[in-house]
Chains A and B, each alone.
Chain A
Amino acid sequence: MNYFSLIYFLLILYTLISLGLISFVIIYQVYLKHQNNNQQANKIKWMLYFQNSILHPKEGHSLKIEARVWRKLRNIKTLIHFLDAFAAYLNGAHRDKFIQVVEFNLHEWIKLGAYYSRKPSLKKAYYASVCNRMPVSKHENYHVLADLLLTYLDDPSIYCKENVLKALYHFGLAKPIVSALHHLSGTRQLHDPKLISDGLLTYSGDKTELIEQLYDELPYFQTDYQIALINFFRLEPAAEILKDRLITLINDHQTNIDLTCAVLRYYTKFPVTAYQSIIIACLEGDEYELTDWEPRSVAASALVSYPSPETKEALIRSIYSKHWYVRRNSAQALAVLKVPLEELSEVFEGDDSYAKNQLNYFYRKQVSV
């Protein structure tokens, strides 16, 4: 009966631990509820502190947050409550005064950041997320803070990395952003290209300066990062300055196919008539394997920005492509370019029912629009 005793013992053990778990779950819920109530009380406590020490100090004018307070802020919960109260003033009538407080105490905030840099990812990511909400100024210490945040990028947490990047975009300092992306790319840490390109769009500083710096470093990034940067250039109007430079990527036949597609999309947004023949070559040229339909289909779409007889001819030829998307995009481009139907009679009178279907669909759609 030994094995039965073992089962009996294990069931007792598991049941007891399960009881512990359910107690933990319930106590934690109660604790959270209590925390919510406490949060308001703590926020008021800190608001009173700011009122007494910043707005109406006993001894004249003061912007300084005392050392004892900074020590308390090493506790993450205290930091949350403190920042809640601070944000209430920062977004209220005393905004200017509290911006001065931020600048005056930036050095201490950086020291606090250095403390949190030795803490687990969770807390580091939170510190970085707070930096993303800070008021931005030209204060030189923002460079120091940016340098500190760059050290957070070694943390494996994606949330930490993303919060750091967001803070850097928010600060509007080009150089740390380039360094951050270099670091991530160089250490082969994958960060979703969409997060990077969309994040860069929120950059608050001089966008031309950022674009120039990113372009200069473009060859040194991994392909995923290069694609993210080209996508950013496409979405950012100020990146029109690159329209005479990015074409080299298409001309280089060693360029990765996805990168070529990204550049072709850029030239849809920022067309340069002189490059029309290059884009037509992407649609029809033999530099791609027959199976590589992506650059061809993107080139077909890009040609809507290059209306000309050559474009029309190339699109008509491509409507017979063996690749579904090339055919589809060519038909769509012809419809968007409003090529007269009589000029497409060859297709309509031909044997390729797929080509006819595609054209019919997009022309009908055009009419209904």
Chain B
Amino acid sequence: MTVELIFDIAGVFFAIYLFFYATFIFIGNASAVINLFKARRRKLLDNILKHPYYFPVSIIVPAFNESFTILGTVDHLLHLDYEIYEIIIVDDGSTDDTATKIIDTYHMEKQEGPLRVQVPSKPIQEIYTSQFQKHRITLVRKENGRSKADAVNAGINVATYPYFIAMDADEILQTDALKNSARLVLEDENVVAVGGLLNISNGVTFKNARAVDTPLTRNPVAAMQSLEYTRAFMGSRVFNDSFNGNLNVSGGYGLFQKKAVIEIGGYDSKSVGEDMDLALRLHKHFAGKNIPYSIKFAADAVCWTQAPFTLKDLANQRSRWHRGLIQSMWNHRDFFMNRQYGHISLISYTYFLLYELLAPFVELAGVLLIALAIYTNYINWPFTIAVTILYSFFSVLQSLIFFAGRYFIQDYTYYSSDFVWAILISLADLFFFRPYLLLIRLFATLTYKKYLHSWNKIVRKSFD
């Protein structure tokens, strides 16, 4: 095979690959902007279900050594603008004083009652409860299950209400988040899960579960993730929502119908990407049996999460995510080109396969081919430079559309310097973070078996 032939085949492949990617991103983002614009107009014209209270919800907060953040998280949860909810903190065998802090702060008492185990989890050792303000707070102490899934399952067994929220212990649920996601369930009785919009809390100031000052953090690692989250949640999630094609309800914030989750056996504690695995199993359960259902995304249900602010922590987090992705995609490979699952199979699963799972290899092959082309002097420099500049510009624009579009969802503090910073970070994302993350994902793929269940704790700061 001649070098020319290799380049010709590769050229066709990369042209098609880039064509579908750019088209998908472009159509997705354009339709997401239109959807967000329509949602904003609906709100302005009272096209919204307002209800004094919707339905009772259990908020499950799995915590493993979250001594720094747990009290702040619970305190913010107590400020939710929602009538009936309970907070269940699942202490997953912490070795720090997470449990003691909660017991002391909320004057909890030990309970010994019957427990109906409906989904599997490691044994529950103790349950403490207290009534604080008008909400019940429950602390579940259990054996460490080495997974978030196991902790949430324990929370489901203790939950008393028909819907539950699964979130992380280092997050702030915005005061109207629960209301805005619950609304979707009242709008459509077939909704079994609602995902929320995750924002990066680094640099943001909160008061009573409300973001009062929202500058784009000046830490470049966190700022890059801030743009990335905005792009992912406001872009692809909103777009996928239009055809019930979201393959994931983020573990950071999801509202679920308890009955539906119990029906599929709860979270899979062996799964590293437990959130994606659950969403895929929900799709499989309902679509497979032709039961009408939908998994919705509420762009105005905002949850603030702490992003890793060092490259090392970012690498740890992304490696785990990528291994979780590989595991979920492989475990649910029957979604691939399966007519039974309609758009989920044809669009969402195929996109994830080609542009998330296989992307590291395609990108690596691209880099190697460019190197080979330079070496063999086969490269068309004017064309390469022009496409690179054009694609960079296109890519930066996709980030900026949603950075500016955040105001469709709610009132963020506007700083003109943030816009300039966002442009710089978008460029840094393109030329530094993406290559860095490419290496991380390659490493995660190559060490999949070895480190699948490894867990490196990420450094957190307590909320102010």
Contact = CB atoms under 8 A, between A and B. Distances in A.
Given A159-B49, A198-B52, A361-B112, A17 B26 contact: yes
B404 A15 contact: no
Interface in B393-408: 393-394, 397-398, 400-401, 404-405, 407-408
A330 interface: no
Contacts of A160: 47
A1 B404 CA distance: 37
A198 B55 CA distance: 12
Interface stretch (A118-126, A266-274, A279-287): A118-126
Contacts of A324: 116
B365 interface: no
Given A22-B400, A26-B404, A122 B42 contact: yes
A21 B30 contact: yes
B292 to A, nearest CB: 11
A84 B116 CA distance: 53
A18 B394 contact: yes
A157 B12 CA distance: 46
Interface stretch (B17-25, B135-143, B342-350, B454-462): B17-25
Given A7-B18, A10-B19, A328-B114, A29 B407 contact: yes
A8 B401 CA distance: 21
Interface size class of B (residues with CB under 8 A): 35 or more
Q: Is the interface of B mostly helix, strand, loop or mixed?
A: helix
B337 to A, nearest CB: 24
B391 interface: yes
Contacts of A25: 33, 401, 404-405, 408
Nearest to A159: B47
Interface in A1-31: 1, 3-4, 6-8, 10-12, 14-15, 17-19, 21-22, 24-26, 28-29
A15 B116 CA distance: 56
Contact of B47 (A15, A125, A361): A125
B36 to A, nearest CB: 9
B15 interface: yes
Contacts of A354: 114
B392 to A, nearest CB: 10
B387 interface: yes
Contacts of B18: 7
B397 A29 contact: no
B11 interface: yes
Contacts of A195: 49, 51, 186
A126 to B, nearest CB: 4
Contacts of A110: none
B37 A123 contact: no
Q: Is the interface of A mostly helix, strand, loop or mixed?
A: helix
Contact of B15 (A3, A17, A76): A3
Interface size class of A (residues with CB under 8 A): 35 or more
A10 B33 CA distance: 20
Contacts of B41: 122
A192 B186 contact: yes
A3 B187 contact: no
Nearest to A201: B52
Interface string B105-134: 000000011101000000000000000000
Nearest to A193: B189
B46 interface: yes
B114 A361 contact: yes
A354 B116 CA distance: 10
Contacts of B400: 22
B15 A361 contact: no
B19 A22 contact: no
A11 B189 contact: no
Interface string A293-307: 000000000000000
B390 A3 contact: no
Interface of A: 1, 3-4, 6-8, 10-12, 14-15, 17-19, 21-22, 24-26, 28-29, 32, 76, 121-123, 125-126, 129, 157-160, 162-163, 190, 192, 194-195, 198, 324, 328, 354, 357-358, 360-361, 364-365
25 contacts: A1-B383, A3-B11, A4-B11, A7-B387, A10-B19, A10-B23, A18-B30, A18-B398, A19-B397, A21-B30, A25-B33, A25-B401, A25-B404, A126-B45, A126-B47, A158-B187, A159-B48, A159-B49, A190-B189, A192-B186, A195-B49, A324-B116, A328-B116, A357-B114, A361-B112
